[in-house]
Amino acid sequence: MTRREEAKSQAILALDRIVHEPARLAILTVLASAEEVAFLFLQRVTGMSKGNLSSHTQKLEAVGYLETVKAFQGRIPVTSFRITEDGRTALRLYHQQLRSLLPKEGKP
Amino acid sequence: MKGPQDLDRLSNLTRRYAEYGGRKAGLIGVYGGLLLALPAGLGTGLALGRVLVQRTGSGPWPSFWQPFLYATGKLPLWLMLLTWSTPLLFLLGSAPLRRTLYQPFGPVKAIEPAPKRPAPNGKLLWGCFAALMGTLLLGFALGWFQGEEAFFLRVTGAILLGGVFVAMVRSRQPREDELALALLLWGNAALAAASPAGLWALTSWLFSALGLVTMACGVWQHQAYLRLRRELEQLAPPGQP
């Protein structure tokens, strides 16, 4: 293994596993595009089931990447999510790491 | 989710959907524009009716113009009441309209304006506007302004209102379109308050024109919303990625 390949594999290992999972990446991408997002909308755009979405949001909340906001719209309870500053930083870092792993244009 | 394009699409859909949580008025703009144009349009009709009757003696359709000719120096009571009720009708109607028309998949709040567009600008605008309208209203109530002076002040007030409207839209306040519309409706009502009918009809064209522009913008925004809704409905139903 060349030194370059070794560095690449190190960079892959350094990727944030929490963000790297496709469903959680989709959740964080949606949350980063708005101030606060309702559970129902998140479910609609990601196409996940209620249980699946709950499980992923709980994992993201446990590491401090999002926070849950519970409110009432009239008499209807609405659960929403908000990305935290840590979550935003993790997503930004993940994008940077991925970009650095991709081959530059014109190079193999 | 299949690739980065899907992530971009998710982000784009979320941003567009969030705009209908307050920033874009859509059909609420059409409702507000209609309320804005209605009394102003009737006021213009009043002035035109008077001109026609004065020039032709009785006018082409005297029975049509008759309601506009109740008072020579003041607006008819029904027109005055209609103008004064428009801000209230708008405030009462806009919230249920937004609740029923937009964001059917739950509320999504748009990202707040960046810190480089600070709130003090908005507060300053509100302060200036309140001071201006307060002075004008007090002046009219106490009879400070008469004749040409009053007309000049009304025209200046109308132009300033237009300026405030543009500034509010540019400052990207949450619910800016609705706020600007409420402001214009209130301004229209305030200017109608102690104005002789003819003068008010002359200044009302500006409000009427703004109302029509708002209605056109509202229709355009609503069409964009319908496209967004179709896109969201075409996504796989929850639970079937």
CA pseudo-torsion sign A45, B9, A31, A35: negative
Q: Which residues of A touch B236 (CB under 8 A)?
A: 47
Pick B13 or A105 by higher pLDDT: B13
The answer to whether A4 and A100 are in contact (CB under 8 A) is no
Q: List the one residue out of B223, B231, B11 whose CA is nearest residue A42.
A: B11
The pLDDT of residue B148 is above 90: no
- Give the pLDDT score at B195: 55
**Are B107 and A35 a contacting pair at CB < 8 A?**
no
**Are A35 and B110 a contacting pair at CB < 8 A?**
yes
Task: Give the confidence band of B192 by pLDDT, cuts at 50, 70, 90.
Answer: low
**Are B108 and A39 a contacting pair at CB < 8 A?**
no
The pLDDT of residue B71 is above 50: no
Q: List the one residue out of A96, A26, A58 whose CA is nearest residue B11.
A: A26
- Give the pLDDT score at A106: 54
Nearest by CB to residue A41, choosing from B108, B239, B241, is: B108
Q: Which residues of A touch B18 (CB under 8 A)?
A: 33-35
Three-state SS at A73 = strand
Of A17-26, B195-204, B230-239, the range with the highest mean pLDDT is A17-26
- Give the pLDDT score at B115: 46
Task: Give the confidence band of B70 by pLDDT, cuts at 50, 70, 90.
Answer: very low
Alpha carbons within 13 A on the beta-carbon side of B112: 7
Count the helices and strands in chain B (H runs, E runs). 8, 1
Mean pLDDT lowest for which of A18-22, A98-102, B50-54? Answer: B50-54
d(CA B105, CA A43): 9
Inform me whether the C-beta atom of residue B239 falls under 8 Å from chain A C-beta atoms.
Answer: yes
Average pLDDT, chain B: 71
Q: Which residues of B47-70 are buried (b: 16+ CB within 10 A; e: fewer)?
A: bebbebbeeeeebeeeeebeebee
The pLDDT of residue B241 is above 60: no
Task: Give the confidence band of A58 by pLDDT, cuts at 50, 70, 90.
Answer: very high
Within 194-233 of B, beta carbons closer than 8 Å to A belong to 232
Of B78-82, B166-170, B176-180, the range with the highest mean pLDDT is B78-82
The percent of residues above 90 in pLDDT, for chain B, comes to: 9
Within 62-121 of B, beta carbons closer than 8 Å to A belong to 103, 105-112
Would you give the end-to-end CA distance of chain B in angstroms? 8
The one-letter amino acid at B211: G
- Give the pLDDT score at B7: 85
Q: Which residues of B touch A48 (CB under 8 A)?
A: 238-239, 241
The pLDDT of residue A59 is above 90: yes
Task: Give the confidence band of B153 by pLDDT, cuts at 50, 70, 90.
Answer: low
Beta-carbon contacts of B22 under 8 Å, excluding residues fewer than 6 positions away, are B98, B109, B110, B174, B175, B178
Task: Give the confidence band of B145 by pLDDT, cuts at 50, 70, 90.
Answer: low
Q: List the one residue out of B192, B161, B211 whose CA is nearest residue B46.
A: B192
Nearest by CB to residue A38, choosing from B108, B110, B236, is: B108
Token duo for residue A17? 């596993």
**Are B11 and A33 a contacting pair at CB < 8 A?**
yes
The answer to whether A34 and B18 are in contact (CB under 8 A) is yes
Mean pLDDT of B115-132: 60
Alpha carbons within 13 A on the beta-carbon side of A74: 7
Phi, psi of B117 (to 5 degrees): -110, 80
Of A61-65, A102-106, B51-55, B136-140, the range with the highest mean pLDDT is A61-65
Q: Which residues of A touch B235 (CB under 8 A)?
A: 44-45, 47
Inform me whether the C-beta atom of residue A30 falls under 8 Å from chain B C-beta atoms.
Answer: yes
Contacts across the A-B interface (CB distance below 8 Å): 88
Task: Give the confidence band of B178 by pLDDT, cuts at 50, 70, 90.
Answer: confident
- Give the pLDDT score at A17: 83
Name the DSSP letter for residue A88.
H
Q: Which residues of A touch B237 (CB under 8 A)?
A: 47
**Are B14 and A37 a contacting pair at CB < 8 A?**
yes
Tally of CB atoms within 10 A around A36: 20
Question: Left (φ > 0), alpha (ψ -120 to 50) or beta: where does B109 sit?
Answer: beta
The answer to whether B103 and B21 are in contact (CB under 8 A) is yes
The pLDDT of residue B68 is above 60: no
E strands, chain A, in order? 36-38, 66-73, 76-83
Pick B241 or A92 by higher pLDDT: A92
Q: Which residue of B has its CA nearest to A29?
A: B11
**Are B18 and A38 a contacting pair at CB < 8 A?**
no
Q: Which residues of B touch A26 (CB under 8 A)?
A: 1, 6-7, 10
Inform me whether the C-beta atom of residue B17 falls under 8 Å from chain A C-beta atoms.
Answer: yes
